[in-house]
Structure 1
Amino acid sequence: MSIRRLPEILINRIAAGEVVERPASALKELIENSIDSGAANIAIRLSAGGLDLIEVIDDGCGMRSDDIALALERHATSKLPDEAIELVETLGFRGEALPSIASVSMMTIESRVRGQDGWRRVVDHGVLAQEGPSAIPPGTKIRVENLFAKIPARRKFLRSARSEYGAAMDVVKRLAMSRPDIGFTVEHDGRRALQVQGDMDRPSRVAALTSKDLADNSVALDYEREGVRLGGIASVPTFNRGIADHQFLFVNGRPVKDRLLIGAVRGAYAEMLARDRHAVVALFLDLPPSEVDVNVHPAKTEVRFREPNLIRGMIVSGLRHALDQSGFRSVQRAAEVNWQREEIAAIPDPQGNIFTPQGQVPHPAYEPSGHYQSRPPSGVFSSLAESRSSFADMGRITGEDLAPLMGRAAEAHEAVPESKRHPLGIARGQVANTYIVAEAEDGLVIVDQHAAHERLVLERMRRAMAQAGGAVPSQALLMPQVVELDEPACDRLEARAEELSDFGLDIERFGPAAILVRATPAVLGGGDVRALIEDLADDLAAYDEALSLKERIDLVASTMACHGSVRAGRVLRVDEMNALLREMEVTPHSGQCNHGRPTWVKLALGDVEKLFGRK
């Protein structure tokens, strides 16, 4: 077959395959052009997540009629004054975006330079449809309709409108974060979804686009080495999230997703965060253009550094220095009324009693033989929920004054059990209010109380679902709680509301950016409702689409169990410690927590004797 030149329309469509992967990709290119035009305000309109409509309006320098025609040709740009592409300082510079987008959509460009007449040009999938004068304010307005409408092979691989909207909002937030001096407005299907004013300082802009609590729970960075400057803000370790979607990285004002930078952030927090938690950071690297290559990816989302080790070391040391300066700071949230009593979830002992802070409740689901009945009576969990329904009810049940719960050691009214009867031994004390130390017949057992109880709560929820025909009893909150989240997170939770109700979590939408929680699973016994909802939203964002229904159920149950378990730092009574050990002995998979970490370790007597030179 002889070699031939490809037609211009086909060339543009091939380029569109690299530059325009989805509506968010087209939106990114259009906003970057508006930023490069010197705009002070950028207004964005979307319909169906950008599938039906993307409209970007700015008040930048504008274009003349001949410039509009030239902008729709490939590799025509105003952003490279000479051939020194390695010194580029603008966001866009390839000259591929507009012709590529116009080849796969209906594009309308209207623009006016101050002091001149406006012009309008319409291109239908690469073919000029019409052009003429336009009466618009100074600036540029670009309208993209029906993306990939005439290319069904590409259209069918796009995700749902909700998913595309979430990706588009992520693009807008990153670009708005990079330029706090520019005002941004986003409307989606006729409703205002985002608005930030211009002339904001960097920390305020980052907090406005992530979490309003970040400003009070972060440290500022201002670090310079060998001509490279690192600025931005980073959350204190205790202010974290379940996924890394709130890590924003910018190189010379350009939002990037670079493995080197992400790995550096992870390394800086390595000794301060659990492996499944992620810091909230917005890092801004400024360095000479000659020290970074921004031309390694068609969409300009990746960069290559001339001295990668210098950059990585600078990020790690800069973050650690800033976090060291924060001292003993911990996460601080706005004061909230806690209508739930802090209480440990019920734990059965070998005699069939449930130890709670108020006393003991018969537990018919547990047999003295050390095995659970295959189908416990259905009233067990509902009776627990009813017993916690109000302060008055709890007082009548226990016959005690409801004084604040205090962690304390209890006097032994009975002989201490023999350790040889129990594989995990008998509790002898608590270390750092986190680890239970038990004496077994053949050594010492150390138990991570939070990790262990997390697994026990998960297994209880699974049993509760099995005995109740797939539903976990719920406990109504005395006062429904409103949890503020971003709109895509609320969309994910709303879509799974029916599944979450099977776990006893009753939620409903409360406006565009909030979730109203009416009830939580009774087996959890209260807890931090806000943290639970935030982590569920994070988990659904990270894994929802990729998991089967059963895997999603296990994921939700695991997240809820984590929030319903005894926390590290909680002082436990001796009887509570022993009850925890006994339940571990009869619960499947209690050797590891829901995240795969061990819940207990044993130090054999022989090993102890070696430590003291007895062997």
Structure 2
Amino acid sequence: MSVRRLDPVLVDRIAAGEVVERPASAVKELVENALDAGAQRIEVAIEAGGRKLIRVSDDGMGMDADDLALAVERHATSKLPDSDLSNIATLGFRGEALPSIGSVALLDIASRAAGASQAHAIRVDQGAKGAVAPSPHPRGTRVEVRELFAATPARLKFLKSERAEAQAVADVMRRIAMAHPHVRFTLSGDNLSGFDHAACSEDAAGLLARLAQVLGKDFRDNALPVEAEREGFRLSGFAGLPTFHRANAQSQYLYVNGRPVRDKLLHGAVRAAYMDYLPSDRHPALVLYLESDPREVDVNVHPAKAEVRFRDPGLVRGLIIGALKQTLAAAMHRATTTGGERTIDAFARRSFEAPSYRPPGNGPVNWDWRTSPAAPGFAESEQASFAHEHAPAANIRSHAAPAIPETLDAPLGAARAQVHDTYIVAQTRDGIVIVDQHAAHERLVYERLKRQRDAQGIARQMMLIPVIVELEQADVERLIDNRETLAQSGLIIESFGPGAVAVSEAPALLKGDVSRLVRDVADTLAEDGQATSLERRLDHVLATMACHHSVRAGRRLTGEEMNALLREMEATPGSGQCNHGRPTYVELKLSDVERLFGRK
């Protein structure tokens, strides 16, 4: 078969497969065009998930008749004035979006340039370009895409349901809206919850307000500001507290020079920064903006511009990890504000699940006021019987501690009691704090060990008689292979024949069963694997050691010990969560407690 040149319309349709993968791709390209045109208001409407209709209207600079005719031609753009691909300062630059969309749909564009007395319109029907004609339209541009992929029915088979496609459009709009807080964004259509995000100021407060519009109040209340700069790269945005974590990475929004990206390097840096605070199956929520000279980043490595390539990836990774670690350390003991809400919800669910409860409309509540111990005439003997029959099975003895007035103003308040020999109850000026003593102390010991290691090395104590620990041979080999790592953590071991190791020195800070500690360390090394970085392995070993030394659940504490624990938590970075990513305390405001009793 001889070589032949493809039909131009067919070429456009093939190119459309790269640029316009689904309706959300078309929306992204059109909205970015509006932003590049300086729009301050962008309205998007869709039907049938974008298959039937996509309409994008803006108040940007608009186009005159000549620009409009050229805009639907392939590789025609106003965004590369000097044809320098290394200096791209706009969101779009390929000149492929409009002709690609027009080759697989019915495309109508109406536009009026700033200062022009007349607007113009053009239609492209499945690749057939019409003539430019006068049209009534205010300043700005309106683009309508109808019957997307009508010219390529095979592409329709690969689209998801109308609802799924509509949600993909909404996700694209949210990501773009977070990068441009000064622009008003409106989205409407079927199969989705529309929104109208008012324009915000361009400072940090305005950005946080826009993030609250998109991500909700909880993110705003649990977000930490991030600011860092290094060698021409600037990082800003907001990072969620470690206890404000998610089951996947969908709540991580990353931007490079205003462009939303999904980049492995950036996501890897985020995971590394949070590694010391979160378990491996949980992910932080954050929004980060990386800015640099356009020449330092290549945005032309992916048709949809979803990936980028940096000239110095090590510099970028170091900047992100360092900035996030510094931000999280500065948060000190802070934990998520949603802990109290989860507690209220847990009480509510327990109430609804009680056997005697009947939902409204499904019969009366199974309760007789005459059986209440508060009812008039309830005999003392009956009260005693009631108390005996309905007493809780668990031991709820509390060990009261007198309130020290000045500590009521401390972030974690004044310790008042220890319940179940496990939880410390503290009083603040406007509520109560419940602390898990084991989880909190575990984190405190871990941070002490890290500080000691970084300062002068972990102090070791020699065993009077070496402790012999019998293990599986694979565990023995794993421990011997990591002797240097363990030595840096304060644990000195040697091989002691087949299936055993001898421990001659252990960290002076730790007390307890050395044999059990060694076995847990062996398990830790097995989980981490040899590919884990040295720093991570050291931290993981220290976390295991801290767990052994921490105050166990079931140990009674005096009032002084409880208050000392609270004060140390307030002064220790990361003490809001334990080494496994769980919160170490829950705070209930007085208003939360009043809700429990129906006062509010």
Compute the TM-score of the two structures, normalised by the length of structure 1. Answer: 0.58
Distance in 2, Cα, partners of 1:183 & 1:406: 57
Separation (CA, whole Å) in 2 of partners of 1:90 and 1:309? 25
Give distance in 2, aligned partners of 1:191 and 1:343: 29
Distance in 1, matches of 2:551 and 2:108, equals: 61
1:86 paired with 2:86, answer: yes
Size of the aligned set, in residue pairs, is 391
> How far did residue 398 of structure 1 move?
7.2
Task: Give the CA deviation at 1:570.
Answer: 11
Alignment CA distance shift 1:241-1:404 (3 Å): farther
Secondary structure of 2:168 counterpart: helix
Matched, 1:212 2:221: no
Distance 2:32 2:64 in 1: 19
1:99-498 equivalences in 2 (<5 Å): 99-116=99-116, 117-129=118-130, 131-189=132-190, 193-200=194-201, 201-333=206-338, 338=344, 341=347, 385-386=354-355, 399=388, 407=396, 432-433=437-438
Q: Secondary structure at the match of 2:277?
A: coil
Structure 1 residues 476-511: Cα deviation after superposition (integer angstroms, max 9, x where no partner): xxxxxxxxxxxxxxxxxxxxxxxxxxxxxxxxxxxx
Q: Which residue of 2 aligns with 1:17?
A: 17
- 2:64 match: 64
Task: Summarize deviations over 1:82-123 as a string: whole Å, max 9, x none.
Answer: 121110100000001100001011110000013321111111
Distance 1:343 1:13, change over 3 A: closer
Q: Confirm or deny: 8 A CA contact 2:200 2:207 kept in the other structure.
A: no
SS at match of 2:238: strand
Q: Which amino acid aligns with 1:68?
A: L
Aligned to 2:37: 37
Counterpart residue number, 2:563? none
- Cα drift, residue 223 of structure 1: 0.3
8 Å contact 1:46–1:55 — kept in the other structure? yes
Larger mean Cα displacement after TM superposition, 28-37 or 234-243: 234-243
Is the 1:387–1:397 Cα contact (8 Å) retained in structure 2?
A: no
Secondary structure of 1:245's counterpart equals helix
- Tell me the residue number matched to 2:27: 27
Asked whether the equivalents of residues 49 and 191 of structure 2 are also in contact (C-alpha less than 8 Å), the reply is: no
Q: 3-state SS of the aligned residue for 1:87?
A: coil
CA distance in 1, matches of 2:304, 2:330: 38
Partner SS, residue 98 of structure 1: helix
Any idea what SS the aligned residue of 1:312 has?
helix
Unaligned runs of 5+ in 1: 346-381, 411-428, 436-441, 444-567, 575-596, 598-615
State the Cα distance separating 1:211 from its structure 2 match: 2.1
Inter-CA distance 572–300: structure 2 relative to 1 (3 Å threshold): same
In the alignment, which residue of structure 2 is the partner of 1:54?
54
Is there any run of 5+ residues in structure 2 with no aligned partner, and where? 359-364, 373-384, 400-420, 423-435, 441-468, 471-549, 557-579, 581-600
Q: Tell me the distance in 1 between the aligned counterparts of 2:336 and 2:551.
A: 16
Structure 1 counterpart of 2:529: none
1:42–1:183: 8 Å Cα contact kept in structure 2? yes
User: What is the DSSP-based 3-state SS (H/G/I as helix, E as strand, rest coil) of the residue aligned with 1:290?
Assistant: helix
In the superposition, relative to structure 1, how do residues 72 and 264 fare at CA in structure 2: closer, same or farther (>3 Å)? Answer: same
Contact kept in structure 2, 1:408 and 1:572, CA below 8 Å:
no
Shift of the 212–407 alpha-carbon distance from structure 1 to 2, 3 Å rule, reads same
Q: Deviations over 1:298-355 (max 9, x none)?
A: 111110000001101110110010111111001113965937649999xxxxxxxxxx
Classify 1:36/1:573 alpha carbon distance in 2 versus 1 (closer, same or farther; 3 Å).
Answer: same
TM-score (norm 2): 0.60
1:267-311 deviation line (CA, Å, top 9, x unaligned): 111111122211111110011111100100111111000000110
SS, match of residue 323 in structure 2: helix
Q: Give the greater-gyration-radius structure (CA).
A: 2
Question: How far has the Cα of 1:232 moved from its partner?
Answer: 0.3
Asked whether the equivalents of residues 437 and 553 of structure 2 are also in contact (C-alpha less than 8 Å), the reply is no
Q: Which moved more, 1:274-283 or 1:305-314?
A: 274-283
Give the Cα–Cα distance (whole angstroms) in 2 for the partners of residues 2 and 45 of structure 1.
47
Cα displacement (A) at 1:32 = 0.4
Identity rate, percent: 46
Give 1:191 deviation, angstroms: 8.1
Partner AA of 1:47 in structure 2: E
- Using a 3 Å threshold, how does the CA distance of structure 1 residues 409 and 313 change in structure 2: closer, same or farther? same
Q: Which amino acid aligns with 2:96?
A: E
Shift, 1:178, TM fit: 0.7
Distance 2:113 2:274 in 1: 49
1:194 Cα deviation (Å)?
1.2
Task: State the secondary structure of the residue aligned to 2:305.
Answer: coil
**Change in 2 beyond 3 A, CA 1:191/1:277:** closer
Query: 1:83 and 1:193 mapped to 2: Cα distance?
Result: 39
1:313 is paired with a residue whose SS is: helix
The whole-number CA distance in structure 2 between the counterparts of 1:332 and 1:392 is: 36
User: Could you report, residue by residue, the CA deviation over 1:417-454 in whole angstroms, capped at 9, with x for unpaired residues?
Assistant: xxxxxxxxxxxx9795469xxxxxx99xxxxxxxxxxx
Shift of 1:386: 1.2
Taking only aligned residues, the RMSD between alpha carbons, in angstroms, comes to: 3.6
Q: Compute the displacement of 1:207 (Å).
A: 2.1
Supply the distance in 2 between the matched residues of 1:126 and 1:35 (Cα, whole angstroms). Answer: 25
1:170 Cα deviation from its structure 2 partner: 0.9
In 2, distance between residues paired with 1:33 and 1:570? 60
Report the alpha carbon displacement of residue 31 of structure 1 after superposing the two structures with TM: 0.3
Amino acid at match of 1:45: A
AA matched with 1:100: S
Corresponding residue for residue 555 of structure 1: none
What secondary structure, in the 3-state scheme, does the structure 1 residue paired with 2:66 have? helix
On the 8 A contact 1:238/1:330 being kept in 2, the answer is yes
Aligned partner of residue 320 in structure 1, secondary structure: helix
- Give the drift of 1:6: 1.4
- Tell me how far 1:387 sits from its aligned partner: 5.7
Contact 2:254-2:288 at 8 Å conserved across structures: yes
CA distance in 1, matches of 2:198, 2:156: 35
